């Protein structure tokens, strides 16, 4: 922009996902960069949304979501995470349907963060958190997690907490590393949140994709933690329909009331036909969700096996549809240069990890770490084709 417009987010440009996907299409590279499925949403769901539209279910619905949809989401949450029969969330008062997890994250951040507040985020961090915090007048305190285990050092978190700290953002299963928070992590988080009167924004969009028998630790399973939390989920990930932008936020009643005040002016309500369609899908095909981990584990295994003869070191992926590769044995380039080269010259598009870190630690990061992210939500042929090329390096 050539005018003197005073930008609220002056340092932001196109995201690394946009950049790498554009480069992939310009160079006709196999696109393992942006995280969306190559396969279609289930036929049942496509029919259901067509029906909803044909039947004229095309007008505004209640701002918080269709009551029947909220009930179905409530059942899902209850079945997956709330073992204690006596503990029942009222879906009409605690769940809000949002336009993707992205809206839920933005609204949760605007609900919580006041000017001057600090929010703790763990790098590599998904890129949607910091702009929201900045727009609310707050600032992020970044804590780095590093290869190979990308674990949170809770001692470091304790050291960063001060009287401005308002919230901690967690993301498990984690994009981009594919790691999971353990129950010990959740207990450590709960101790800090309760001791310092903090809040949690828990980004759980990959909740139904965990591997090797490991289970997702949801904030919803920890009643005291949930009392101070916004739990964010995405049907785009679960039902291979990322372009529908269908998500939701679960929070205790008082927090939901505040969340809904902002949600109603961010968008009012979320795409009505998709709410009808997903309601039907949840009722008719609950097994889709139960089978999702096996579905993605098989894809991970295809890719990992095909990369075995390569010079890349494959880091463990315990959840999500992402896999990290350490390319130290292949190249000395930094990860951004390497990803550009791989896309333009070799024909496989990947995502560098450094853009997920705080900008002022990048020089040090580049000296120490050579890691890129691959998305394996692709057909097996695509994965095998990409691996064959990578094995030649
Ligand atoms: C960690 C994480 N959170 C949130 C989102 C956004 O989800 P949605 O497409 O439902 O807005 C994504 C999408 O890639 C993600 O990876």
For 315-335, the pLDDT digits (tens) are 999 999 999 999 999 999 999
How many independent structural domains does the chain possess?
2
Mutate to test the pocket of ligand 1, among 33, 102, 178 (most ligand atoms within 8 A of CB): 102
Classify residue 266: in a domain, yes or no: yes
Task: Answer yes or no: do 115 and 83 share one domain.
Answer: yes
Ligand 1 centre to CA of 234 (Å) is 7
Q: Are 78 and 226 in contact (CB under 8 A)?
A: no
Q: Residue 116 pLDDT more than 60? A: yes
Ligand 1 centre to CA of 2 (Å) is 32
The span from the CA of 356 to the CA of 122, in Å, is 9
Task: Answer yes or no: do 298 and 268 share one domain.
Answer: no
Enclosing domain of residue 101: 43-284
Task: Answer yes or no: do 327 and 229 share one domain.
Answer: no
Which residue, chain included where needed, has tokens 């990061």? 365
Task: Answer yes or no: do 208 and 90 share one domain.
Answer: yes
Task: Answer yes or no: do 226 and 349 share one domain.
Answer: no
Classify residue 10: in a domain, yes or no: no
Residue 332's CB is within 10 A of a number of other CB atoms, namely 9
Q: Are 77 and 216 in contact (CB under 8 A)?
A: no
Task: Answer yes or no: do 237 and 323 share one domain.
Answer: no
Task: Answer yes or no: do 197 and 299 share one domain.
Answer: no
Ligand 1 centre to CA of 253 (Å) is 24
Looking at the DSSP bridge assignments, the partners of residue 151 are: none
Q: Are 348 and 376 in contact (CB under 8 A)?
A: no
Domain boundary among 284, 313, 333: 284
Classify residue 220: in a domain, yes or no: yes
Ligand 1 centre to CA of 128 (Å) is 8
Domain boundary among 246, 263, 284: 284
Mutate to test the pocket of ligand 1, among 16, 21, 126 (most ligand atoms within 8 A of CB): 126
Classify residue 4: in a domain, yes or no: no
Task: Answer yes or no: do 217 and 308 share one domain.
Answer: no
Q: What CATH number is given to the structural domain containing 57?
A: 3.40.640.10
* DSSP-based three-state secondary structure for 257: helix
* DSSP-based three-state secondary structure for 300: helix
Ligand 1 centre to CA of 148 (Å) is 23
Ligand 1 centre to CA of 274 (Å) is 18
Q: pLDDT tens digits for 248-279? A: 999 999 999 999 999 999 999 999 999 999 99
Task: Answer yes or no: do 29 and 48 share one domain.
Answer: no
Ligand 1 binding pocket, CB closer than 6 Å: 35, 100-102, 126, 128, 171, 175, 203, 205, 234, 236, 242, 245, 247
Protein residue with least CA distance to atom 16, ligand 1 = 175
Classify residue 314: in a domain, yes or no: yes
DSSP state string for 90-159: -HHHHEEEESHHHHHHHHHHHHH--TT-EEEEEES--TTHHHHHHHTT-EEEEEE--TTT----HHHHHH
Q: Could you give the C-alpha distances from 328 to 75, 312, 341, in angstroms and in order?
A: 46, 8, 15
Classify residue 51: in a domain, yes or no: yes
Q: pLDDT tens digits for 146-189? A: 888 999 999 999 999 999 999 999 999 999 999 999 999 999 99
* DSSP-based three-state secondary structure for 390: helix
CB within 8 Å of 367: residues ≥ 6 apart: none
Mean predicted lDDT score pLDDT of the chain: 96
Task: Answer yes or no: do 204 and 314 share one domain.
Answer: no
Ligand 1 centre to CA of 102 (Å) is 6
Q: What CATH number is given to the structural domain containing 351?
A: 3.90.1150.10
* DSSP-based three-state secondary structure for 379: coil
Q: What is the pLDDT of residue 4?
A: 83
Among 5-9, 62-66, 190-194, 307-311, where is mean pLDDT lowest?
Answer: 5-9
Q: Point out the ligand 1 atom lying closest to the alpha carbon of residue 126.
A: 1
Mutate to test the pocket of ligand 1, among 21, 41, 100 (most ligand atoms within 8 A of CB): 100
The span from the CA of 134 to the CA of 6, in Å, is 15
Region 298-323 average pLDDT: 98
Classify residue 136: in a domain, yes or no: yes
Classify residue 2: in a domain, yes or no: no
Task: Answer yes or no: do 280 and 139 share one domain.
Answer: yes
Q: Residue 361 pLDDT more than 80? A: no
Q: Point out the ligand 1 atom lying closest to the alpha carbon of residue 247.
A: 10
Domain boundary among 249, 284, 319: 284
Task: Answer yes or no: do 200 and 326 share one domain.
Answer: no
Ligand 1 centre to CA of 284 (Å) is 25
């Amino acid at each position: 922009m050539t005018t003197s417009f005073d930008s609220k987010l002056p340092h932001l440009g196109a995201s690394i996902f946009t950049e790498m996907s554009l480069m992939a299409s310009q160079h006709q590279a196999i696109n393992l960069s942006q995280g969306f499925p190559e396969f279609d949403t289930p036929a049942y769901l496509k029919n259901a949304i067509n029906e909803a539209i044909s039947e004229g279910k095309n007008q505004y619905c209640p701002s918080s979501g269709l009551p029947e949809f909220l009930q179905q989401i409530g059942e899902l949450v209850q079945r997956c995470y709330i073992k204690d029969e006596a503990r029942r969330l009222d879906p009409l008062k605690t769940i809000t349907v949002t336009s993707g997890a992205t809206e839920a994250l933005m609204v949760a951040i605007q609900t919580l963060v006041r000017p001057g507040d600090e929010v703790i985020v763990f790098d590599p961090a998904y890129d949607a958190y910091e702009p929201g915090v900045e727009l609310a007048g707050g600032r992020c305190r970044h804590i780095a997690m590093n290869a190979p285990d990308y674990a949170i050092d809770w001692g470091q978190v304790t050291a960063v907490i001060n009287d401005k700290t308002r919230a901690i953002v967690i993301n498990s299963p984690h994009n981009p590393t594919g790691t999971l928070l353990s129950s010990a992590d959740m207990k450590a988080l709960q101790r800090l949140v309760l001791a310092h009167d903090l809040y949690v924004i828990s980004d759980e969009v990959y909740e139904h994709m965990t591997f090797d028998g490991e289970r997702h630790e949801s904030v919803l399973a920890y009643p005291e933690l949930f009392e101070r939390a916004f739990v964010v989920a995405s049907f785009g990930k679960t039902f291979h329909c990322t372009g529908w932008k269908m998500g939701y936020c679960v929070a205790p009643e008082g927090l939901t009331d505040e969340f809904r005040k902002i949600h109603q002016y961010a968008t009012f309500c979320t795409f009505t036909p998709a709410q009808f369609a997903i309601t039907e899908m949840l009722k008719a095909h609950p097994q889709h969700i139960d089978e999702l981990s096996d579905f993605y584990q098989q894809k991970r295994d295809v890719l990992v096996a095909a990369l075995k003869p390569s010079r890349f070191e494959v880091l463990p992926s315990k959840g999500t549809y992402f896999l990290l590769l350490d390319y130290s044995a292949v190249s000395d380039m930094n990860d951004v240069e390497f990803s550009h080269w791989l896309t333009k010259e070799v024909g496989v598009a990947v995502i560098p990890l450094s853009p997920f870190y705080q900008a002022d630690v990048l020089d040090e990061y580049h000296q120490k770490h050579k890691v890129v992210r691959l998305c394996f939500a692709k057909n097996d042929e695509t994965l095998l084709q990409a691996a064959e090329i990578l094995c030649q390096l």
